[in-house]
Amino acid sequence: MFRGLFVCVSLALILWGTIEKVQGKASKLWLQPLNETFLQTGVFPSGFLWGVGSAAFPTEGSWDADGKGESVWDRFTHHRDPSSDSYIQWEEDLKSVQYLGVNFYAFSLSWTRIFPDGDATANPNPAGVQHYRRLIGKLKELHVEPVVTLFHWDFPQVLQERFGGWLNRSTADVFADYAAFCFRTFGAEVRFWITMHNPYLLALQGYGTGAHAPGVTGDPADPYIAAHNLLRAHAKAWHIYDKLFRPHQNGKVSITLGSYWVEPLHGQATPANVELCQKTMESVIGWFAEPIYGSGDYPESLKASHRGVIPEFSVQERLWMKGTADFFSLAFERETLKVGKGLARFGLMVNLDLRSVLVWVQQTYGDPQVLIAENGWFSDASVGVEDTVNIYTMKSFILQVMRAVSVDGVRVFGYTAWSLLDGFEWNDGYRIRRGLFYIDFSKAERHRVPKTSAHFYRRLVRDNGFPAENTPHIEGRFPCDFQFGVSESVLQVHLHPFSPQFTDPQLYRWNLSGNGALTPVTGVLLHTRPAQCTDFLFIQRHLFLLGVTGSSHYRFTLDWTQLAPGGDPASVDPEKVRFYRCLLMELQRRGIHPVVILYQPSNLSSSLGLPQPLHANGGWRNASVVEAFVKYAVFCFHEFGALVSTWITINEPNRLNDLYAKERQTVARHLLLAHAKAWHIYDAQFRQKQGGAVSLALHADWVEPANPFLESHKSAQQQFLEFELEIFLDPLIGEGNEGRGNTLIGFSDNERAELKGALDFIALNHFTTCLVSPWKHPKPLNLEHGCSRTKDPTWPRSHLGQALVPWGLRRMLGWVRNHYGDRLPIIVTAAGVDDHAVHDDQLRQSYIRSYLQEALKARELDGVNLKGFYVWRLQDHRHDIKYGLFSSAAHHSRPKASVSVYRDIITHRGFPSTADQRPLTCWDTDNGTSCELCTRIAENKPLLFFSVCVSISMSMLGVLIFISVVRKRRKKKRKMPTNVRVHQRFAMMRVAHGTGLLRH
């Protein structure tokens, strides 16, 4: 209780102390977040140092062997177990280091193994000195640089009892003597020294809350006194090295400081919240960094909130303290982050944002060189060697470092993965694991077994980061017959708005009484005309938006529930049939090819998109729905087939199958038979006259093994694809009896024959990529594939959590080609992402560019017979999830920026070279020919317009000149004596009157 109270009081004093104006660039990090980047690949600069680390207490064991003295952690935990047994098996440790291929190994010296009672003026323990000499010497032989920490919390128990530990000012002098001995004894072979590791936790937890050794609690001033003496000890050690050892050893000395990152709760970056964030950072990392890297004194906010408690530096001490580090050494790990858990009550939250911490250090302390001296996470003790989550945690952290280096310019020169081995993790003991190498602590041998995270880190070190596995951006164009389209879901029948013009026989008077109303004129009726397609104003408005995109194809679904509410053609509504026919006619008039889906399941519909009577009769569980669907399909082929060249019978039957958890096989059977019967009827009765193609569309997101180092995860990937795609494709275009769908569902021989070949093209709806792993717990009913799905946390994500993984599309297309050949063309009939931006939908713009780029690679590099790509969807609906290229009608159907991006790609038919940016105009795409004249015209539209204007002007001028000349000639012919003209004129008038030609 006291520990929690102490933390709360301390935080309150820090955060709500004297209000100071926040200064410096670093405070802008909460007002202007770092540049959002989708950077997923890249390598670190040449010479970047990769390392791995460990600490003495959790790993060495042998707590009292060979003359070692007791430390405060030995006393605090009463731990007497061999731990990782690294004191004995240090050579096995180095084999593990070698396996990783790292540049350096960071470890700490056990103070009490060298000086059992902590007194460096006494004789050292020969066994301890010899141990570390062997370790350092062997590392040098292996060309692995030792990075040596003098003190990682295991303070001598004798000194704790004699002086009161770090509360005694003289402890700094004792530490300086110890440091001088280590520099003198080991310094010839050590380039990098760390005086102490994360003094923040030692001061706060060891002398404040008592959660860490030595477990001191009581006086609120104790943490600040301990911190003050730790800083003094560090500075003394640095000055000793700088004066006595640097000239001939040429090493570098620093201190490792721990930190976390804080942000305003719910993103409310008010000035007050920003100030709280800045003060929090100053109270954690700034507590120790400001005296060393900044002013030589504590942060002003910390001094203001702790006057009379926090010790003061004299002017001379500030000058002496400032600059006592040769690089910035940073720890970003679990223990420090745990301390920040209580910040929520102050309106702040802790975030695992290592990149922001690095940029804050850069902007606050003058862009120092930075070593990540500790970074890693933990897993439960039961995880073992298959630590998949740790792989992605490590990947996330290292990607943050890479972005800080490549985007923000932070000068990070090395990274330390923590830790090398599982060990006795301080006061957590064996409950958690942090090692790259697994140790079974129930066995005396303590064998080091590499975890999958060790394999991952080894590969990362070898590659110096994340080199791009996929082909970089390519230039090229899609052919003229490639289908650039837009997809919609069920296109509802819109009988309103409706234009009554020429269909209302009534005549009206307007504003007769001054009220602006229309008043019928009684007794007068006008002629009317029959209903026309122009009556449906929705169609014109909707297709106008489609035209703006430049798309050549439009995919939408007929609403079976509205067309035939009873489920069969006898219940067809003629007016709704007319609506769809008018829509198709208007598409044809505009030169846009329709791709029509007969049935699209929807879990948002209570009947799953089926007419209610069919759903009430069991839906797709009942075989009768197959015949009902076939009758409906025949009706649509007959009514609309002359206007439709591409049909999709059922959209995403594999997703519908998931909704029938207990009867998946029965439902899959009925769906496939319904499609096949409809296909055969079209093939026999309509294809010759209409010339169309029929398919079904499958949801086809790609999956990757969650852990690429485990065969079980690779098997899960194959198993998932079998149940997701093969179950529907194999019966239609697979190997007949050997297909997964045939064997799983159990079709009869006649049914197999009916199914085989009933597909004219492969339609895939692809949105994202997931990770799969075997389901380890009792399998849910709706997971027949037995796989658990998750996402790589480092992948860019949309507001709804959809991952952007463009290369997944290419891999999916390649998988389909490898399994089913390239006889049938493939069309991506839907691909899109949600983006809640009102106009500048940058996420969707990136999605369209990158996914179409991967589609081009699949065509040009992999030989995939890809014939089309459709963006999902045309327009937001009032309550939808923002997939649209246009805002909803309620928001005036405004185009988003992605419309321009997509139209530009369509105009250029892909990604032409910078030297050839002319639009590619196709002519007569059905015949595969192009019009050279059309291309020339498209390239020179301004010149053509100017030429037409000049031609018209010259023609008009010529006409005017001609008329003027003609008039002048007529005038000359009419020049005669006046009297003759008058007599003639009157005579002609008399003739005119006489003949009745002149009328008044």
Q: pLDDT of 804-833, one tens digit each?
A: 999 999 999 999 999 999 999 999 999 999
Quick one: pLDDT at residue 47? 97
Quick one: pLDDT at residue 936? 52
Percent of the chain with pLDDT over 90: 74
Residue 173 has pLDDT above 90, yes or no: yes
Q: pLDDT of 941-986, one tens digit each?
A: 566 667 777 778 888 888 888 888 777 777 766 654 444 443 433 3
The span from the CA of 830 to the CA of 556, in Å, is: 10
Task: Name the average pLDDT for the chain.
Answer: 89
Closest among 230, 235, 285 to 261, alpha carbons compared? 285
The span from the CA of 163 to the CA of 644, in Å, is: 91
Q: What's the length of the chain?
A: 1000
Quick one: pLDDT at residue 776? 78
Quick one: pLDDT at residue 947? 75
- Within a 10 A sphere around the Cβ of 214, how many other Cβ atoms? 23
Quick one: 777 exposed, middle or buried, by C-beta within 10 A (0-12, 13-18, 19+)? exposed
Quick one: pLDDT at residue 937? 53
Mean pLDDT for 396-409 is 97
- Contacts of residue 586, defined as CB under 8 A and 6 or more positions apart, other chains included, come to 533, 539, 540, 543
In whole angstroms, how far apart are CA 752 and each of 165, 224, 651, 742? Answer: 82, 80, 21, 8
- Contacts of residue 794, defined as CB under 8 A and 6 or more positions apart, other chains included, come to 40, 392, 395, 396, 399
Quick one: pLDDT at residue 944? 67
- Structurally, at CATH architecture level, domain 49-466 sits in Alpha-Beta Barrel (3.20)
Question: Does the CA dihedral 835-841-843-848 come out positive or negative?
Answer: positive
Q: pLDDT of 71-124, one tens digit each?
A: 999 999 999 999 999 999 999 999 999 999 999 999 999 999 999 999 999 999
Please report which confidence band the pLDDT of residue 919 belongs to, taking 50, 70 and 90 as the band edges: confident
Strand residues in 269-386 grouped as ranges (E): 328-332, 348-351, 370-375, 379-380
Give the 3-state DSSP-derived string for 985-998, with helices as H, strands as E and coil as C. Answer: HHHHHHHHHHHCCC
Residue 379 has pLDDT above 70, yes or no: yes
Instruction: Name the maximum alpha-carbon separation found in the chain.
Output: 151
Please report which confidence band the pLDDT of residue 499 belongs to, taking 50, 70 and 90 as the band edges: low
Please report which confidence band the pLDDT of residue 513 belongs to, taking 50, 70 and 90 as the band edges: confident
Delimit the domains of the chain by residue range: 49-466, 702-760+770-803
Percent of the chain with pLDDT over 70: 89
The span from the CA of 550 to the CA of 592, in Å, is: 9
Quick one: pLDDT at residue 266? 81
The span from the CA of 990 to the CA of 384, in Å, is: 123
In whole angstroms, how far apart are CA 738 and each of 28, 735, 758? Answer: 63, 5, 17
Q: Which of the two residues, 238 and 499, has the higher pLDDT score?
A: 238
Q: Considering the entire predicted model, what is its pTM? A: 0.86
Quick one: pLDDT at residue 929? 38
Quick one: pLDDT at residue 985? 38
Radius of gyration of the chain (CA): 40
- Within a 10 A sphere around the Cβ of 266, how many other Cβ atoms? 9
Quick one: pLDDT at residue 526? 77
Quick one: pLDDT at residue 23? 44
| Helices (H) then strands (E): counts for the chain | 37, 31
Q: What single-letter DSSP state applies at residue 206?
A: I
Residue 9 has pLDDT above 50, yes or no: no
Q: pLDDT of 840-872, one tens digit each?
A: 999 999 999 999 999 999 999 999 999 999 999
Please report which confidence band the pLDDT of residue 7 belongs to, taking 50, 70 and 90 as the band edges: very low
